[in-house]
């Protein structure tokens, strides 16, 4: 069917702020969809309240409303804009819920707004448990038997009827607490009573347990004509019972036989047909490991986290195609953007394996319950691509940026007894992969581990193969052994840990053995058709290198997985950096490993390397591409942390030099920098014990802020006013992080503010000074930030400006930096980040200046004057902009919630 010409203006609803379970994948989907609709000539109106995304960039839609995603606010926008249609399926659950609310309130009818894509009836059928159950029964698709109960007797009767085990899911409890699996009547009495009492509405769902089944997902597309394809089949490494967002996932599926695969594929296609989906749809299924029995778990009639993963796994841009289907185009009318020669109706095929591993926030949410279950806890994810499962998995591990010792030894940090390990394997946490390695290290059989974990043996055999290779690395390191390890995904750091040699020695041995990677293309069709996708992954298996150096190129390092403290804003800055490089006439190459984001959309850059952000991976790419330089300023701390070792390897860093970066990052050099420029800094010192602390504190001056240097999240941070309080708190800090230094700083009570600065190495431009609503002591990322400032005097602003200029000049900043201040009796500097910061997208959008692009132009050699910018602080606007944090406390049971711990 040709595209819908009766509509001209389309409103798109975004997904709002990032929370656990609804993250950067919707920035990717939303941006793709908006671009896709504009390609077709439609006027696009975007509504989203998240300032940090690419989606809310002025270039993505014709008009962007940075307004609340509430019925009232969106109704007003629709009344004003009077769009012909609304596309609700790209903004996650938030977008869908809002579309339902708008419909129920009669807003869509009132303004004659047509709903595009999957209809509301379908959405309701997929989301309402009863309607969904009925539909599945109508089309003969099996769902686990379930019943909502309000008393124990009903629960027991139902369980007797369907047989044990059953899952008890209490309604409206935090993180599903109070639920569990009952293996028999006695257990159901216990768990059912607890669940009913914990549920605020005394309600539980009793469901036939399929925990331990294989969890399989199909990403399916259907057009209005009824044509359907399966884009990707993904298999969860973890069994049913762990949220798919918290599961390790591989694609294509690995353990299904052909009959099972076809059965599940057929079921998925039948469901999207019955639901009359128009666009993309995610179908989750459970496969009995011991028979051909399967069940439908759930259906998401929209783009999702899994569709982002499937897009990156296959190269097939699901959201882009879904948007085109929504405006009437059929799959056989849409060109596949990857091959440019086939149509979107062509099912992708993979000649490689991808593995996704979730990134959990427990490094920051210390104390939170780490056990995985049906409530998602991860904040982000990484993906590894390889020719074998082993390689894909180990690349993903190397991308996680967790404790380096875990990443390289592949073992948990703390030694567990056999009993503890058995318990851990039956009660999986974020550490389960490393605990399985620990079990393999104890020569536990695959069967024993499979019995404990319910993980499909094929995956455990792959882990056993990794472990066998790792053990062999402890002996004589021959060339063939090294080649083997590299082919199965071992990083140099992992080989170094296994062999007891240094990483440098391994690097040298690899060079001596002539072992080098080749790069393979992700082409969606397993080489069946010619394609020119600029999307590559490395492999050490012999083969042709398919990535030809671009020449005149610059490499931009991305920021890896989304985690607390490093979110989607760094993807925004990475994408803007790439665009500025391209505008300047150079080729931009991205290295990143996060499948959710816009930056890993291969159409964003001239070339995408989907690789771990490690010195080794980056150097292999540098050696091939021979770029003019590498930019590290936009990929958060991930990229900055690689600077020193890249410089040691002879890489030219574009922008602020390593020396300048060190001046701000090294505590000692930073102190010298501030003293040299007569800039005040709260006095501080580092100590290892109470005696020293008690001696130092009076010199620093009470009140002092005490915090262990390695425990983040503020648990053991406190402000103390005298020696008694100090003793009490140091004791706690020592317990929270034994043998780690404790930082003691004079606590300056005052107004906290921050500024991003841009510099060409000579002059400094300050787009604006943001003031935090909360005083000093609360992390800037947890504070409400306001621009322009509401309480600072002109004199204080001038002092901040003058300090920012001094620091920028002194470190010869080229590009951008972020400086944080406390304004009290005078202006103090508390921190300088030698890179783009969390506030860059916010400030860019409210000042109308693309700061990351400007910074990139400065890095490329332009002066502030060339860009028409005057040195000094920009004039403040009359209107007010406020950035407020969003917490996902409901998703992390037992997490610490205090924003600061002032006594």
- Crossing angle of helices 457-472 and 479-487, in 10° steps, is 150
Q: Does 76 bind other proteins (CB under 8 A)?
A: yes
Q: How far is residue 840's CA from residue 852's CA, in Å, rounded to a whole number?
A: 7
Q: Which is nearer to other proteins, 298 or 774 (CB)?
A: 774
Q: Is the CB of residue 75 less than 8 Å from the CB of residue 107?
A: yes
DSSP 782: G
- Residues 62 and 69: their CA atoms lie apart, in Å, by 19
| HSE-CB of 851 using CA atoms within 13 angstroms | 33
Q: What DSSP line would sit under 99-123, residue for residue?
A: HHHHHHTTHHHHTTPEEPSS-HHHH
Q: Which stretch binds other proteins (CB under 8 A): 318-326, 544-552, 769-777, 802-810?
A: 769-777
- For residue 696, the surrounding DSSP H or E stretch is helix 690-700
Draw the binding track, 575-594, toward other proteins (x: CB under 8 A; -: no contact). --------------------
Q: Kindly write out the interface string for residues 364-403 of this chain, putting x where it contacts other proteins by CB under 8 A and - elsewhere.
A: xx-xx----------x------------------------
CB-nearer residue toward other proteins: 77 or 515: 77
Question: Which is closer to other proteins, CB of 117 or CB of 561?
Answer: 561
Please identify, among the stretches 133-141, 151-159, 336-344, 560-568, the one whose residues bind other proteins according to the rule CB under 8 A. 560-568
Closest by CA to 897, choosing from 162, 129, 368, is 368
* CA–CA separation, 29 and 51 (whole Å): 16
From 11, 19, 323, 827, residue interacting with other proteins (rule: CB under 8 A): 19
According to CB under 8 A, which residues from 313 to 352 bind other proteins?
none
CB of 786 to other proteins, least distance (A): 7
Binding mask 150-179 for other proteins (x = CB under 8 A): ----------------------xxx-----
Contact range with other proteins by CB under 8 A, out of 470-478, 480-488, 610-618, 770-778: 770-778
Least distance to other proteins from the beta carbon of 714, Å? 8
Taking the least distance from each CB to other proteins, the nearer of 212 and 367 is 367
Based on the shown chain and the rule CB under 8 A, indicate whether residue 773 belongs to the binding site for other proteins. yes
* Spatial distance between the Cα atoms of 274 and 586, rounded to a whole number of angstroms: 49
Q: For residue 392, how many C-alpha atoms fall within 13 Å in the half-sphere facing its CB?
A: 23
In whole angstroms, what is the distance from residue 46 CA to residue 110 CA?
A: 20
| Residue 659 touching other proteins (CB under 8 A) | no
Helices 503-512 and 492-499, axial angle in degrees (round to 10): 110
Q: First CA to last CA across the chain, in angstroms?
A: 67
Q: Compute the least distance from the CB of residue 144 to other proteins, in Å.
A: 26
Q: Which of 32, 52, 236, 614 binds other proteins (CB under 8 A)?
A: 52
Q: Which of 106, 163, 701, 877 binds other proteins (CB under 8 A)?
A: 877
3-state secondary structure 426-439: HCCECCHHHHHHHH
Residue with tokens 């290295």: 591
Strand 718-720 relative to strand 764-766, pairing: unpaired
Considering only residues 345 to 364 of the shown chain, the ones binding other proteins according to CB under 8 A are 361, 364
110 binds other proteins (CB under 8 A): no
Judged by CB under 8 A, the residue of 30, 315, 567, 834 near other proteins is 567
Q: Which residues contact 668 (CB under 8 A, 6 or more apart)?
A: none
Near other proteins by CB under 8 A, which window of 232-240, 262-270, 562-570, 794-802?
A: 562-570
> Least distance in Å: CB of 774 to other proteins?
4
CA separation, residue 729 to residues 696, 734, 780 (Å) = 15, 8, 23
Judged by beta carbon, residue 378 or residue 452, the one nearer other proteins is 378
- Residue 787 to residue 768: CA distance in whole angstroms: 7
Residues from 709 through 768 that contact other proteins (CB under 8 A): 712-714, 718
Bridge partner list, 281: 220
* Contact flag: residue 702 with other proteins (CB under 8 A): no
d(CA 286, CA 292): 10
Q: Alpha-carbon distance 15 to 444, whole Å?
A: 45
Among 341, 480, 790, 793, binds other proteins (CB under 8 A): 790
456 touches 289 (CB < 8 A): yes
Rounded to a whole number of angstroms, the minimum distance from the CB of residue 362 to other proteins is 12
Which of 227, 782, 798, 812 contacts other proteins by CB under 8 A?
782
885 binds other proteins per the rule CB under 8 A: yes
Burial code (b: 16+ CB inside 10 Å, e: under 16) for 707-722 equals bbeebbbbbbbbbbee
Beta bridge partners of 280: 221
Beta-bridge mates of residue 235: 216, 250
Contact letters (x/-) for other proteins, 815-844, by CB under 8 A?
-----------------------x---x--
Q: Which is nearer to other proteins, 50 or 244 (CB)?
A: 50
> In angstroms, what is the minimal distance from the CB of 889 to other proteins?
5
* Residue ranges in 198-217 that form contacts with other proteins under rule CB under 8 A: 200
Residue 778 lies near other proteins (rule: CB under 8 A): yes
Nearer to other proteins, 765 or 842 (CB): 842
């Amino acid at each position: 069917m040709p595209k819908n010409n009766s509509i001209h203006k389309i409103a798109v609803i975004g997904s709002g702020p990032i929370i656990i379970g609804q993250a950067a994948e919707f920035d990717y989907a939303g941006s793709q969809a908006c671009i896709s609709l504009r390609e077709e000539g439609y006027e696009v109106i975007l509504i989203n309240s998240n300032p940090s995304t690419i989606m809310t960039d002025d270039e993505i839609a014709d008009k962007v409303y940075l307004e609340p995603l509430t019925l009232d606010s969106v109704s007003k926008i629709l009344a004003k804009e009077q769009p012909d249609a609304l596309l609700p399926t790209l903004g996650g659950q938030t977008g869908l819920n809002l579309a339902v609310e708008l419909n129920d309130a009669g807003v869509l009818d009132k303004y004659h707004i047509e709903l595009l894509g999957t209809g509301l009836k379908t959405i309701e059928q997929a989301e309402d448990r009863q309607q969904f159950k009925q539909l599945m029964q109508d089309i003969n698709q099996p769902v686990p038997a379930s019943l909502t109960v309000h008393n124990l007797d009903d629960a027991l009767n139902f369980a007797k009827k369907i047989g044990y085990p059953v899952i008890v899911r209490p309604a409206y409890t935090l993180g599903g607490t109070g639920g569990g699996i009952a293996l028999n009547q006695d257990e159901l009495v216990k768990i059912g009573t607890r669940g009913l009492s914990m549920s605020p509405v005394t309600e539980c769902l009793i469901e036939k347990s399929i925990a331990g089944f294989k969890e399989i997902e199909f990403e399916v597309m259907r057009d209005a004509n009824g044509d359907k394809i399966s884009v990707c089949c993904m298999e969860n490494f973890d069994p049913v019972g762990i949220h798919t967002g918290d599961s390790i996932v591989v694609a294509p599926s690995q353990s299904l036989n052909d009959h099972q695969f076809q059965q599940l594929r057929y079921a998925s296609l039948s469901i999207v047909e019955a639901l009359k989906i128009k666009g993309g749809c995610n179908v989750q299924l459970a496969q009995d490991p011991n028979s051909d029995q399967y069940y439908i778990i759930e259906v998401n009639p929209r783009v999702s986290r899994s569709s982002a993963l499937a897009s990156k796994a296959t190269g097939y841009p699901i959201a882009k195609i879904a948007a085109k289907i929504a405006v009437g185009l059929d799959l056989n009318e849409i060109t596949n953007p990857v091959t440019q020669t086939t149509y979107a109706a062509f099912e992708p095929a993979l000649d490689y394996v991808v593995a996704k591993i979730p990134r959990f926030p427990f490094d920051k949410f210390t104390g939170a319950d780490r056990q995985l279950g049906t409530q998602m806890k991860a904040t982000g994810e990484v993906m590894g691509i390889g020719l074998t499962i082993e390689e894909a998995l180990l690349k993903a591990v190397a991308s996680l940026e967790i404790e380096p010792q875990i990443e390289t030894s592949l073992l948990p940090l703390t030694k567990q007894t056999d009993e503890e390990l058995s318990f851990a394997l039956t009660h999986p946490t974020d550490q389960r992969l490393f605990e399985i390695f620990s079990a393999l290290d104890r020569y536990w059989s695959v069967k024993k581990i499979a019995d404990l974990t319910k993980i499909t043996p094929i995956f455990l055999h792959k882990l056993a193969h990794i472990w066998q290779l790792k053990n062999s690395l402890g002996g004589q390191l021959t060339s063939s052994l090294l080649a083997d390890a590299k082919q199965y995904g071992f990083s140099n750091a992992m080989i170094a840990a296994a062999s007891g040699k240094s990483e440098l020695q391994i690097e040298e041995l690899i060079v001596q053995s002539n072992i080098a990677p080749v790069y393979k293309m992700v082409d969606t069709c397993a080489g069946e058709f010619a394609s020119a996708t600029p999307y590559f992954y490395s492999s050490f298996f012999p083969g042709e290198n398919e990535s030809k150096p671009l020449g005149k190129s610059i490499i931009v390092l991305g920021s890896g997985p989304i985690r607390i403290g490093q979110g989607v804003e760094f993807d925004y800055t990475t994408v803007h950096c790439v665009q500025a490089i391209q505008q300047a006439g150079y080729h931009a190459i991205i290295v990143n490993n996060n499948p959710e984001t816009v930056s890993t959309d291969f159409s964003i850059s001239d070339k995408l390397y989907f690789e771990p952000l490690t010195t080794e991976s980056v150097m292999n790419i540098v050696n091939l591409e021979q770029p003019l330089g590498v930019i590290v300023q936009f990929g958060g701390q991930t990229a900055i942390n690689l600077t020193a070792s890249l410089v040691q390897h002879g890489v030219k860093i574009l922008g602020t030099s390593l020396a300048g970066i060190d001046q701000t990052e090294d505590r000692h050099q930073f102190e010298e920098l501030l003293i040299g420029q007569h800039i005040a800094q709260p006095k501080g010192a580092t100590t290892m014990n109470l005696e020293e602390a008690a001696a130092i504190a009076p010199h620093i001056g009470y009140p002092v802020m005490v915090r262990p240097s390695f425990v983040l999240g503020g648990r053991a941070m406190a402000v103390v006013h005298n020696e008694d309080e100090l003793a009490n708190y140091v004791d706690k800090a020592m317990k929270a992080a034994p043998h780690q230094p404790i930082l003691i700083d004079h606590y300056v009570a005052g107004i906290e503010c921050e500024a991003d600065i841009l510099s060409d190495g000579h002059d400094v431009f300050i787009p604006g000074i943001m003031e935090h609503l909360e005083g000093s002591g609360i992390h800037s990322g947890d504070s409400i930030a306001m621009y322009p400032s509401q309480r600072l005097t002109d004199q204080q602003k001038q002092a901040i400006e003058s300090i920012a200029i001094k620091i920028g000049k002194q470190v010869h900043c080229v590009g951008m930096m972020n400086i944080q201040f406390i304004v009290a009796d005078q202006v103090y500097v508390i921190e300088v980040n030698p890179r783009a910061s969390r506030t860059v997208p916010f400030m860019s959008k409210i000042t109308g200046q693309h700061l990351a692009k400007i910074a990139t132009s400065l890095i490329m050699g332009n002066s502030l004057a060339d860009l028409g910018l005057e040195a000094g602080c920009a004039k403040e606007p009359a209107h007010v902009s406020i950035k407020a944090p969003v917490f996902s406390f409901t998703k992390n049971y037992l997490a610490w919630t205090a924003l600061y711990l002032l006594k």
